[in-house]
Structure 1
Amino acid sequence: MSEQHTLDGVNRIEYRPGLVGRFARILIPFLQRTLPSGLYRVTYDALYNGYKWTLRQSYLLRYAAAHVVGSREDKLRTSLTRKLLPYSMGGKKALENAFELTAKAERNNIPGSLVECGVAEGGTAAMIALTSRELGKTVRPKWFFDSYEGLPEPTAEDYEGGKVGNFIRPLPKGACLGTIEQVGELMFDTLKFPKDEVTLVKGWFQDTVPVKRDVVGQIAVLRLDGDWYESTKVPLENFYDNVSPGGYVIIDDYATCFGSRKAVDEFFAERNIKAPLFEDGRGGVWFEKPSL
């Protein structure tokens, strides 16, 4: 069950990593300080890939249990999560959250497209697309925005006390990289989506999102995973009005990146939005757009 919060400062959402996450917060900065840059990169990649492999293996028990006693949606959720873990930087909780909200949108017949801003390697975008394909009654347009060059530099709006967040691994310029070729291969070659159904939009959000706002039109699920202030605020300002009443908005970095939280809190205040925020269990939040 997701925990409900408001933006009144009383129930402030905080990121609470597990034991592995707390250890990684110590180990990764230590390796970055002590190893030559080339060796650090090789070591980090090996550790990260090993961690993702371990996550996938550890998910086998949940996968097996769902296929023995679970509902159709339980089986689908665990099957898709295990399939997509190699493509996800957010892990199983981000994937399961994307599944649950897309499934809710399909059950509730919320009209509109499926949109993600901040695609990285494509795991959660693929989860949204596959869930809709499996559970939806109609084919929805899917729009996936990213620089496809990794993260930009943070701006002054992202800093608090000289830090930009409470995340586990460093996020330098170019981090969270998934190229448009990699994501295209996943969507079109591996998952066999038609190219007229999935649109990959390359470029910085301030250059692409305003231009595509009217073309995208109505939105059922909007997932924001841009980490920084501008990368969160620009999609909110341009796409929120497109979200159907009863549709869902996911902010992946709310409790981990100071700028992302600031952008959301400002936007809620500016628009007088009273929707409660629900935690995804790993530092992200989501909310349902209030009905008119």
Structure 2
Amino acid sequence: MKISEFSVRVLSPTFLTSGICNVIANSWHGIVPSEYSRRFRIVRPYTMMSNARLRALHDATARVIAAGVPGVLVECGTAKGGSAAMMALVVHECRSDKRIWVFDCFEGMPPPTENDPDRDLAANYVGDCLGTFEEVSALFAELGVSDRMRMVKGLFQETLPPSSTGDIALLHIDGDWYDSVMSCLTSLYDRVPPGGIIQLDDYGYWQGARKAVNDFFKLRGEPVPALKRIDHSGRQFTKAPRSLQQTPG
């Protein structure tokens, strides 16, 4: 089969809605590596995520689409919008009807608090990772994905609780500080159905982000899920059925 013929078959509506698409998603690295590379080149100027974390987010998007996990995609902390754009490109090219919610203050990183063990160091990064609402909106428009995006401006503590996302198939948390990550988990974790994927950008880097995750599950009386290591900083896990989330015994 010629490559061009293969591409036509892969992009056909019949193929994309079949179970075979799931096989493709699970074998993404070996079958269509060029697709990630092409999308990476598009979004690279607009993200500071490592290649490994961006690839993990890319593949997680494909997996929840192929598996039919109900719900939207949510990114908490988008900076210049590159990682959200990556998710949107996958959604668009998989011909999925999923929408992407993007939460950010669009004013750079807020100050850490006393809940962050490495507060003195973290304070040096206040205002970093700045992408304005207008800049990110313009990126989505340039890529032709604006109709899939819902942008919400403000601090997570104020915008997440009243948000009407419904179910969340993929939750990407890039909040850096304790209070931000805790707000994301407190407000959104229960909206992720079994089979949904949660990616934590800063678990292995910022002490506050790691402490927030550990404290969140401790307060729920549940063990921290088995976190898949993406790289030195990123972690990812798939939400288990509720019966498997409780502490044994």
Normalising by the smaller structure, the TM-score range is 0.7 to 0.9
2:169 is the counterpart of 1:225: no
TM-score, normalized by length of structure 2?
A: 0.81
Partner of 1:200: 151
| Unaligned runs of at least 5 residues, structure 1 | 1-68, 165-169
CA contact (8 A) 2:61 2:91 kept: yes
Distance 1:85 1:91, change over 3 A: farther
Task: Give runs of aligned pairs for residues 94-133 of structure 1, distance below 5 A.
Answer: 94-133=53-92
Task: Measure, in 2, the Cα distance between the counterparts of 1:149 and 1:254.
Answer: 22
Partner of 2:93: 134
SS at match of 2:86: helix
Partner of 1:53: none
2:230 is the counterpart of 1:280: yes
Q: CA deviation at 1:133?
A: 1.7
Q: Percent identity?
A: 38
Which residue of 214, 227, 236 maps to 2:185? 236
The amino acid that maps onto 2:179 is E
Task: Measure, in 2, the Cα distance between the counterparts of 1:274 and 1:283.
Answer: 17
Which residue of 31, 50, 58 maps to 1:71? 31
Which residue of 188, 209, 230 maps to 2:160? 209
Q: CA deviation at 1:159?
A: 2.0
Distance 1:181 1:255, change over 3 A: same
SS at match of 1:78: helix
Q: CA deviation at 1:91?
A: 3.0
Partner of 1:177: 130
Q: CA deviation at 1:171?
A: 4.5
SS at match of 1:156: coil
| Two-structure CA RMSD over aligned residues (Å) | 1.8
Q: Deviations over 1:63-115 (max 9, x none)?
A: xxxxxx9523x221111112211111113222111101111111211111000
Task: Give runs of aligned pairs for residues 29-108 of structure 1, distance below 5 A.
Answer: 71-72=31-32, 74-108=33-67
CA contact (8 A) 2:137 2:146 kept: no
Partner of 1:19: none
The amino acid that maps onto 2:201 is D
TM-score, normalized by length of structure 1?
A: 0.69
Task: Measure, in 1, the Cα distance between the counterparts of 2:224 and 2:113.
Answer: 28
Task: Measure, in 1, the Cα distance between the counterparts of 2:213 and 2:135.
Answer: 30
| Unaligned runs of at least 5 residues, structure 2 | 1-28, 243-249
CA contact (8 A) 2:47 2:83 kept: yes
Partner of 1:186: 139
SS at match of 1:89: coil
Aligned residue pairs, count: 213
The amino acid that maps onto 2:63 is K
Partner of 1:16: none
Q: CA deviation at 1:180?
A: 0.6
Q: Deviations over 1:235-280 (max 9, x none)?
A: 1001000001110001101011111000001112222045210111
